[in-house]
Structure 1
Amino acid sequence: MVAGTRTDRFIVETTGRRGLQGLDVVHEMPGVDFAVVRGSESELEDARGVKGYAPDIEIELVEPDVNEEAPTVEETSVEDEPYYPLQWDKQALDIPDAHETTKGEGTRVAIIDTGVAAGHPDLEVNEELSRNFTGDGFGAANAAGGYHGTHVGGIVAAQTDNDMGVAGTAPETDLVDCRVFSPESLASFGDILAAVLYSAEIGADAANLSLGAYPVARNGYGEFYGKVLNRTMTYANKEGTLLVIAAGNDSADLQHDGRVCPEDEEGNIEECFAAISLPNEGAQALSVSATGPIGFRWGDEGLEAPPESPAFYTNYGTNAVDIGAPGGDADLDASDNEVPGWYYDLVLNTIAVPEYERDDDDTVTDYLGAAYTYDWLAGTSMAAPQVAGAAALVKSVNPDYTANQVESALKRAADVPDGYDKAYYGSGFLNIVDAL
């Protein structure tokens, strides 16, 4: 998508002295001399304490189309069995071996997403520290923004001592929900930045951001967005929070996308511009591409592609991607023809399907709760939390490590699989056991 700008909210660089005067401040951003404010551009021009500003922009969850076709686990033949045998991702990462060393004790991971549902029986969420950054009044530690965040949270920290469901990478980490999506709406860049700073404030060892906007123009407002993003991310990193970010699902070469020419709804080319992907191309981001198998537990005997092979949708780029991790893949011919079991190549984990109260115009007026289950999804959204969970394990056994040292340990242990292009992996495919 091309990121849409808002007319009612702005990200403001402050003079850093008296603060902002005459403006409605939505989020203060201590430590970086920025703020998110609500109002008109004319009000900004008249206000004191404003050094520069740009409209807030909207960020979306971008998922491969195959996610819309995959059934929930209840519709399969394994609904009454433990689901670890279906988790090719945890098997490929040798999570049981990693858990002989640590399960993430003494660490904290923040999930900046649609909400992580504390009510899911396979999750434990720190409700006291969880926050809603949207202002919609629907609270936190729930699925008010959609099912996506609960799936991401489960990949990080689904419980392994309850004889049910799935396994997470770091089940003993302290999982915190930072909700930045509201029902049926995109996330504001300003809310995401505020959530990043909050993650650092509460001492999160990693913050997972399975979200993004692409392409965003580098010039004009893009320079301002880059400045506020880089300053925010650098601050969080210095405070000890590793920012693990999905690389995106546009099949784009981020290394060589010097000019992008988006098309409108009729297929006409709009103005071309030099592009950047936000926030995964920001400073200090640990950008994660997605891999996945073809043929796991379905089709002919043996895999057509191994778990470490690049997914068909993943963004890539030698210096734009830092590490590859299991995010799920799909044989599109098999999914289009509804071949039984094609979805096993996606990532199975927890979800919470939200239920809403709506008015006569079908507008959401209240969040009523959620139905808790398990589902298969794919995307760099699923790959990033594999790395965030791995970061928690590394930090658990090396409590004095800085964010940079945790990242270095993960990168040093990773290797580019034989026969594959380094552009899809950066340092290589995630290897948790060697990182430990």
Structure 2
Amino acid sequence: MTANNRRHFLKTAGVSLGALALGPSTTGADSTQRFVVDKRGLQTERGMEVVHDLSPVDLLVVKASEDALDDAGVAYAPDGRYSPRLPDTVSSRSRVEYPPEGETLFEYQWDKQDQRIPETHETTRGEGTRVAIIDSGIGAEHPDLRHAVNAELSRNFTEDSLGAPGPYGGAHGTHVAGSVAASDRTDSGVIGSAPGTELVDLRVFSEVSSSGFSAWMGDVLAAIVYSAELGADAANLSLGWTFRFRDDGWGQFWGKAMQRTTTYANRNGTVLTHACGNWGGTLQFDEDQRDSSETAGGLTVSATGPIGFEWGDEGLEQPPYAPAFYTNYGTNAVDLGAPGGNADLDAIGTDEPWYYDYVLNTVAVPEFDDETGEYLGATYGYDWYAGTSMAAPQVAGAVALVKSAKPRLDANQAKNALERVAEVPDEYERKYYGSGYLDTYRAVTN
């Protein structure tokens, strides 16, 4: 392909492949001090330091010895800590500087074009809804996000003291947030699916954690419960972890803990949108292994993307709904396919702007003092990312739009509204899509 001339405000040096998009390597039972405890039957908390009290789902996250837990006579499992994994290809960065006043980046947003987002906004922009972003933190001072983030409701679930909102765990959460709610009423920049929705930053990743760039599973459970308590219409989890802890020491306890948590979210009207992971593997399970988010109204999302968007003279080699090269799949594991970005692997490393097939949106890149770990601030801009991490917020934004247009829908009805209009493309297999490919416009206007 022959590259088009790039605009003067693009700085190119590779591209990021969706940081925090997790693969199958986790350390689910590596903790000897943190545990998730079933409160049912608990007689005493002696010897336990409570990290999170999840009373609505009868769970505790605690620091304790196993002897103390055994003495309490309750069921428990080690809290799991997991680290990010990128799709299996290069991971360098391309960043877009702020465009000149009056110049937008929408022409590079194939995902929002494909989903007919501007036309959808003629019906609703997501007003009156709320979306929780369970991630690395949102750069709320980004010019495209200042309107959207509720700082008062935002929470830090990590063990650091940096608070929320803020991009303290990396740029990933800001990209996810922008995909949901970046403003469509600025003179420049990008747009999100539901710019009228309210965002809540629920941070579970910490850049300055003593154990490195990772998150506790118990923190994620706590963030889900908090999302439900807030009455969030959607809670996005671009984590790719939900399928793995069964094999990492949680067993039946993990299934029950997740079932309680996701059911609570569903009953409170919150649709959980999950990234299905980026290692290009099958998530084909037996029925008794099906992720509990399915039975509790959640949506697990695979990634799609074009090949050849705005680069080359031959046009698209693959359409926006083509399965991405890295996406996980599974007929009874994936609920929807959605735009997450794709790549021509032969073009990577060439002068071609192959990264145009990724998803462009907001980023806030944090800076820390190398010696003290002190947060120094963030650089705001835009970047192309790819991953199922980028696909899940497309669905979260669609949930916000549907709930805004039809506010009486409960979580299951909102989920069904998306699945009902989704279709599996004729030229691809159902295992990549579940119910089908996301169609935001039809879901809102039908």
1:222 maps onto 2:227 in alignment: no
Aligned length, in residue pairs: 412
Alignment of 1:105-120 (within 5 A): 105-120=127-142
Preserved contact between residue 59 and residue 212 of structure 1 (Cα < 8 Å) = no
Deviations 1:101-144 (A, max 9, x none): 00000000000000011111110311000000002001111000
TM-score, with normalisation over the residues of structure 1? 0.89
Preserved contact between residue 131 and residue 400 of structure 2 (Cα < 8 Å) = yes
Preserved contact between residue 52 and residue 222 of structure 2 (Cα < 8 Å) = yes
The answer for the alignment partner of 1:316 in structure 2 is: 329
Identify if the C-alpha distance between structure 1 residues 16 and 406 changes in structure 2 by more than 3 Å, giving closer, same or farther: farther
Deviations 1:230-282 (A, max 9, x none): 110011111111000001111111115x7xxxxxxxxxxxxxxxx97978678
The answer for the alignment partner of 2:40 in structure 1 is: 15
Give, in whole Å, the separation in 1 of the partners of 2:337 and 2:433. Answer: 5
TM-score, with normalisation over the residues of structure 2? 0.87
SS at 1:412 equivalent: helix
Give, in whole Å, the separation in 2 of the partners of 1:19 and 1:165. Answer: 54
SS at 2:127 equivalent: coil
Question: Which residue of 343, 351, 376 corresponds with 1:330?
Answer: 343
Residue identity opposite 2:375 in structure 1 = Y
The answer for the alignment partner of 1:173 in structure 2 is: 197
Give, in whole Å, the separation in 2 of the partners of 1:417 and 1:143. Answer: 37
The answer for the alignment partner of 2:21 in structure 1 is: none
The answer for the alignment partner of 2:388 in structure 1 is: 380
Alignment of 1:21-170 (within 5 A): 21-46=46-71, 48=72, 50-66=73-89, 68-74=91-97, 81-123=103-145, 124-170=148-194
Give, in whole Å, the separation in 2 of the partners of 1:217 and 1:411. Answer: 27
SS at 1:51 equivalent: coil
Give, in whole Å, the separation in 1 of the partners of 2:249 and 2:83. Answer: 21
Give, in whole Å, the separation in 1 of the partners of 2:223 and 2:291. Answer: 15
The answer for the alignment partner of 2:313 in structure 1 is: 300
Give, in whole Å, the separation in 1 of the partners of 2:281 and 2:293. Answer: 13
Quote how far apart the aligned CAs of 1:302 are. 1.1
Identify if the C-alpha distance between structure 1 residues 242 and 318 changes in structure 2 by more than 3 Å, giving closer, same or farther: same
SS at 2:369 equivalent: strand
Percent identity of paired positions between Structure 1 and Structure 2:
56
Give, in whole Å, the separation in 2 of the partners of 1:13 and 1:34. Answer: 5
Preserved contact between residue 208 and residue 245 of structure 1 (Cα < 8 Å) = yes
CA RMSD of aligned residues (A): 2.3
Deviations 1:354-397 (A, max 9, x none): 011232xxxx6322221101000000000000000000000001
Identify if the C-alpha distance between structure 1 residues 82 and 295 changes in structure 2 by more than 3 Å, giving closer, same or farther: same
Quote how far apart the aligned CAs of 1:299 are. 2.2
Q: Judging by fraction of residues, say which structure has more strand.
A: 1
Preserved contact between residue 88 and residue 326 of structure 2 (Cα < 8 Å) = no
SS at 1:164 equivalent: coil
List runs of 5+ in structure 2 lacking aligned partners.
1-23
Give, in whole Å, the separation in 1 of the partners of 2:390 and 2:53. Answer: 30
Alignment of 1:278-293 (within 5 A): 283-293=296-306
Quote how far apart the aligned CAs of 1:434 are. 1.0
Preserved contact between residue 66 and residue 330 of structure 1 (Cα < 8 Å) = no
The answer for the alignment partner of 2:363 in structure 1 is: 351
Preserved contact between residue 328 and residue 382 of structure 1 (Cα < 8 Å) = yes
SS at 1:6 equivalent: coil
Question: Which residue of 415, 421, 427 corresponds with 2:423?
Answer: 415
Quote how far apart the aligned CAs of 1:65 are. 4.7
Question: Which residue of 259, 268, 279 corresponds with 1:250?
Answer: 279
The answer for the alignment partner of 1:263 in structure 2 is: none
Residue identity opposite 1:340 in structure 2 = E
The answer for the alignment partner of 2:17 in structure 1 is: none
Quote how far apart the aligned CAs of 1:416 are. 0.7
Give, in whole Å, the separation in 2 of the partners of 1:6 and 1:281. Answer: 28
Residue identity opposite 2:367 in structure 1 = E
Give, in whole Å, the separation in 1 of the partners of 2:339 and 2:117. Answer: 13
Preserved contact between residue 365 and residue 379 of structure 2 (Cα < 8 Å) = yes
Identify if the C-alpha distance between structure 1 residues 221 and 380 changes in structure 2 by more than 3 Å, giving closer, same or farther: same
